Structure 1
Amino acid sequence: MFFNLWKDLPVPFYFSVYIFEVLNPKEVFDGKKPAVEQRGPYVFREYREKKNITFHENGTVSFREYRRFHFQPERSNGTEEDYVVVPNILVLGAAVMLEDLQSPLQIAVSTAFSLFRQKAFMNRTVGELLWGYDDPLIKFLNTIRPGLMPFGDKFGLLVGMNNTDMGLFTVNTGANDISKVQMVDNWNGLKQVSYWNSKQCNGINGTAGELWPPFMTPSSPLEFYSPDACRSIKLQFRETGEYGGIPTYRYVAPKTLFANGTDYPPNEGFCPCRQSGIQNMSSCRLISFPYIEHSKIDQSLQMTGAPLNVSVRLQLNLFIKRVPRIIQTGKISPVVLPLIWFEESGVLDGKLLNEFYTYLVMVPTVLGYLQYCAIGVGAVLLALMSFLWLRNKYN
């Protein structure tokens, strides 16, 4: 049952996106404080499918998991055709990343921006902003810094998520040791990544984020590797609870998850850092993901290690500032500008939840009562046998 649950996830997942529209782009260009308004949610049904499932003799299994997103108009406040005014991430993000170039190169970049008619802010549809739009500037940026835009001539905040896989995961099956089931052996052939500045931060630890070993206790670590965050994430036990009549453990992200190195020294490897709560992602992602702000990661698990209720909320931000020789940055004051925040959530319900309740609650409860009944019957039979033995002896 668990293999089928793992292979073809039956739980409906929803991906809700909120976009921060800039209301005063001209004022921001002149150095004023940004004013933003939240738009959305724009809700998508998320489908996950595992392919290339290969079992190995050492007790591991490899797979690729593909994700697809389908817009849900009935759950959304708006459509993918809505227009929003947002920062031109290609210009403002690239300007910050290229500010250490020599002056002639910066002037060349600014000139190229002008030739491509690029400005500090743009008016794009929600669909274009999220899933990508064609722009000749992308090809130019890749000539300046090869690999800067890895998704061809298309750019979007989430362009690398739709109809793509999350890399080649190899995890333990638990056949040799049940306590290691689902623990990641390697990702894309790597035991650790090279995005960060310390061995601890580069570690690929925990599971792939779908299942954990059974018989967990509140002291058991709950850790998983997230390709989207380019790092391992460890959650901490918050409290016991109940979901659909099934006892659960609730785990949440600690406040130190995205703390900077000053506030939480173990995170020094993720620096260069800004204020706590914002993690610099420019070393592993697109310029559309330069910073990521922690909001909430919440999971409820049962004794089998299977999540029953999952909620992940993250916010993407862009650090913008004036770069003197790139005129498209105007007089913009240094600020971390929010772009979008999204929630990914899924709950176990229906027939599958009833099966879990039957096998994990009802059957053990019945067996618990039956064992006492068996003890009682055994005691009665023992007493009867003793009585008959004594009576036969004295007769």
Structure 2
Amino acid sequence: MWKEIPVPFYLSVYFFDVLNPEDILKGGRPQVRERGPYVYREFRHKSNITFNDNDTVSFLEYRSYQFQPDKSHGSESDYIVMPNILVLGAAVMMEHKPMSLRLLMTLAFTTLGERAFMNRTVGEIMWGYEDPLVHLINKYLPGMFPFQGKFGLFAELNNSNSGLFTVFTGVKDFGRIHLVDKWNGLSRVNFWHSDQCNMINGTSGQMWAPFMTPESSLEFYSPDACRSMKLDFQATGVFEGIPTYRFGAPPTLFANGSVYPPNEGFCPCRESGIQNVSTCRFSAPLFLSQPHFLNADPVLAAAVGGLHPSQEEHSLFLDIHPVTGIPMNCSVKLQLSLFIKAVKGIGQTGKIEPVVLPLVWFGESGAMEGEPLRTFYTQLVLLPKVLHYAQYVLLALGCFLLLVPVAYHVRSQEKCYLFWSSSKKGPQDKEAIQAYSESLMTPAPKGAVLQEARL
């Protein structure tokens, strides 16, 4: 199960279709419409599995995606109007560069036909499209972008791995089972501005240590978010007859440094509830948050029309079987947004008012089902329950077996008195017979010769 996860995972993607791109360029308030979900079946398998001498195992986990039309609300050929990340992202990055360089960029954008907003299909936005600007940058500024050829939001994820994980097996120290020792050979990353934020804590996000309690927390390192995340216990529950603990994101997960000081290392920050991930995303002004700016500063959702944060629909959670630390049901939901604004000297940005504009939100979900679920229920729920009640049955049976000889002994005493209790002789005869019967019940002295008594 650890090598080939039997649980079917699904990636559900929701796009924010921009309804008024021309108004935004004139300084108007953005209006968006949520489109989706566009659902993909996610396949995972581990390879290059190597057991090391220090109680660790190293592996690469590869991911691939297949579109699921029957589960989707639309097709990959649907057109979506979105901000042109390459243009608007580059404009913000060039804000403090010399004016001559910004004018040169405007000329390049005009020559290549680049605009602030684009109208492309879901498939192109997801898995990549040819863009002359990418070819130009890779030609004259090699190494600026981590990708070659097509540009897409999820182009780097399909048929790729999430880095080399080295985790503890727990053979020598059971308390460290599943914990990450290193990722890509590093015991800490260098994306952030504090040691605490750069730490690689928790597991790789698939299993946790067994024997959890409500005081436990769930930590894991996410290569996609470039950081470790910590979820808190929320409630107990039951999934398909299996007892679970639900862990969810605390309100401080993406809080800025002024609201939650330990997150100061993730700054420079904007409003609370969004995390600046530019340092691990080629310096583009990208922000990570919960969908629809859930648990974020209300100013963010109010600045964009069409957003409706909901705790029920947009919160992330993991339901864990506390005895084993294995997830039974999970749904991890995150949103990617782009900070856009008018930049003097770059004509394509027009009069855009500064705003954090949502691009897409996605949820990775999976629930144990089928034969693995039945096996899990039988071995870890049904059998322990049977054994739990069996101890009381065996205890009752033991008590019954102990009472049998006691009852037999009592009945034997009663039989000794039966022959005189029904006698019709006089009082003196009854006393003599009773004395004699009691003498029969008294053990004979050692070495005495027993004789037959006849009445």
What SS does structure 1 have at the residue aligned with 2:290?
strand
Q: How far apart, CA to CA, are the structure 2 residues paired with 1:394 and 1:222?
A: 72
| TM-score normalized by the length of structure 1 | 0.94
Q: How far has the Cα of 1:346 moved from its partner?
A: 0.7
Q: How far has the Cα of 1:141 moved from its partner?
A: 3.0
Q: How far apart, CA to CA, are the structure 2 residues paired with 1:157 and 1:353?
A: 34
- Which residue, out of 281, 284, 291, partners 2:287? 291
Correspondence for 1:97: 93
After TM superposition, the structure 1 = structure 2 runs for residues 243-262 of structure 1, keeping only pairs within 5 Å, are 243-262=239-258
Q: How far apart, CA to CA, are the structure 2 residues paired with 1:201 and 1:213?
A: 23
Correspondence for 1:356: 376
Are 2:340 and 1:344 equivalent residues in the alignment?
no
Q: How far has the Cα of 1:91 moved from its partner?
A: 0.3
Correspondence for 1:270: 266
What SS does structure 2 have at the residue aligned with 1:9?
coil
Contact conserved, 2:92 with 2:285, CA < 8 A, in 1? no
- Which residue, out of 309, 319, 323, partners 2:343? 323
Are 2:317 and 1:301 equivalent residues in the alignment?
no
Are 2:110 and 1:110 equivalent residues in the alignment?
no
Unmatched 5+ stretches in structure 2: 292-314, 413-440, 444-455
Are 2:83 and 1:87 equivalent residues in the alignment?
yes
Are 2:195 and 1:175 equivalent residues in the alignment?
no
Distance 1:144 1:273, change over 3 A: farther
After TM superposition, the structure 1 = structure 2 runs for residues 145-164 of structure 1, keeping only pairs within 5 Å, are 146-164=142-160
Identity of aligned residues (%): 56
Q: List per-residue Cα deviations over 1:13-61 (Å, max 9, x = no partner).
A: 1111111111111111111111111111111111111111111121111
Correspondence for 1:47: 43
Correspondence for 2:296: none
Are 2:12 and 1:16 equivalent residues in the alignment?
yes
Q: List per-residue Cα deviations over 1:195-224 (Å, max 9, x = no partner).
A: 001011111000000000111111112100
44-53 or 379-388, larger mean C-alpha shift? 379-388
Contact conserved, 2:81 with 2:117, CA < 8 A, in 1? yes
Correspondence for 2:306: none
Q: What residue identity is the alignment partner of 1:307? A: P
54-63 or 142-151, larger mean C-alpha shift? 142-151
Unmatched 5+ stretches in structure 1: none
Q: How far has the Cα of 1:107 moved from its partner?
A: 1.9
135-144 or 250-259, larger mean C-alpha shift? 135-144
What SS does structure 2 have at the residue aligned with 1:7?
coil
Contact conserved, 2:90 with 2:284, CA < 8 A, in 1? no
Q: How far apart, CA to CA, are the structure 2 residues paired with 1:107 and 1:335?
A: 23
Which structure shows the bigger proportion of residues in strand conformation? 1
Are 2:393 and 1:373 equivalent residues in the alignment?
yes
What SS does structure 2 have at the residue aligned with 1:138?
helix
> For the aligned residues, what is the CA RMSD?
2.1
Q: List per-residue Cα deviations over 1:99-146 (Å, max 9, x = no partner).
A: 121222222222221221111111111111111112121133346655
Distance 1:394 1:261, change over 3 A: farther
Q: How far apart, CA to CA, are the structure 2 residues paired with 1:85 and 1:199?
A: 40
Contact conserved, 1:136 with 1:153, CA < 8 A, in 2? no
- Which residue, out of 312, 319, 342, partners 2:332? 312
Q: How far apart, CA to CA, are the structure 2 residues paired with 1:72 and 1:106?
A: 43
Distance 1:157 1:116, change over 3 A: same
Correspondence for 1:134: 130
Contact conserved, 2:138 with 2:148, CA < 8 A, in 1? no
Q: How far apart, CA to CA, are the structure 2 residues paired with 1:376 and 1:253?
A: 47
Larger radius of gyration: 2
Q: How far has the Cα of 1:286 moved from its partner?
A: 4.6
Q: How far apart, CA to CA, are the structure 2 residues paired with 1:287 and 1:372?
A: 65
Q: What residue identity is the alignment partner of 1:95? A: A
Q: How far apart, CA to CA, are the structure 1 residues paired with 2:123 and 2:221?
A: 28
What SS does structure 2 have at the residue aligned with 1:310?
strand
- Which residue, out of 232, 242, 249, partners 1:236? 232
Are 2:62 and 1:66 equivalent residues in the alignment?
yes
Distance 1:67 1:394, change over 3 A: farther
What SS does structure 2 have at the residue aligned with 1:292?
strand
Contact conserved, 1:90 with 1:287, CA < 8 A, in 2? no
- Number of positions where the alignment pairs a residue of Structure 1 with one of Structure 2: 391
Correspondence for 1:28: 24
| TM-score normalized by the length of structure 2 | 0.82
Q: How far apart, CA to CA, are the structure 1 residues paired with 2:405 and 2:142?
A: 87
Q: How far has the Cα of 1:259 moved from its partner?
A: 0.6
Q: How far apart, CA to CA, are the structure 2 residues paired with 1:80 and 1:121?
A: 19
Q: List per-residue Cα deviations over 1:269-311 (Å, max 9, x = no partner).
A: 1001111111111100256771111242200001200000100
